[in-house]
Amino acid sequence: MFDRITDDIRFAKANDPAATSTLAILLTYPGLHAVWWYRLANACHHRGFGRLAAVLSYVGRFLTGVEIHPGATVGDRLFIDHGMGTVIGETAEIGDEVVMYHGVTLGGKSSEQVKRHPTIEDGVMIGADATLIGDITIGEGATIGAGAVVTDDVPPETTVVGNPARPIEEMEAERSADAGAPEETEELHPDCAPEVEPRWQQVQS
């Protein structure tokens, strides 16, 4: 357990330039606290203590502003930066080294007891206030722009933005065609201003 907490702290430091103090992360990072509360609730959930799992999940939500259903599947080193308002549904599956920002929703669109929430593969980055709905798959290394609404699968290593979300390369190609001349594009961190270095790209576990 302590090894996983240490990994979480290292990954937070690698993704957040403000995360310079281990003590500060332990005491003041609600996104990590939410993940730790989830792990307790998830352990109870898998052992058949559903009511206790629900109570632990509720306490974690009250303290952090992040709601992760005890039945969700979360891999190693999930980092939820800022955290407030993030919701992860019951059948969501999240891989390793995923980074998401505040206000992200991994929601369902079925009232049946089926797989109804997104699958997020390893190394995905999800910008602030993005909404991902339904049993869709976000491929490894993909980037979801801030405020995007995603209802379809996203291929690996693809950046999507907008509502509905579309690959940024496709949108830039259309703009270039409309302008009658190609334009240069740069991959930007969806949660940063253009002049800010996309530090998340440098992260290696």
* Active site (catalytic) residues: 102
Whole-angstrom Cα distance, residue 202 to residue 120? Answer: 20
Beta bridge partners of 159: 143
Whole-angstrom Cα distance, residue 29 to residue 79? Answer: 10
Cα 159 to the center of its chain, rounded Å: 14
Whole-angstrom Cα distance, residue 104 to residue 118? Answer: 12
Cα 66 to the center of its chain, rounded Å: 12
> Can you give 113-149 as a three-state secondary structure string?
CCCCCCEECCCCEECCCCEEECCCEECCCCEECCCCE
Task: Give the CA count within 13 Å in the CB-facing half-sphere of 173.
Answer: 5
Helix runs in the chain, H state only:
2-15, 22-28, 30-46, 50-64, 168-179
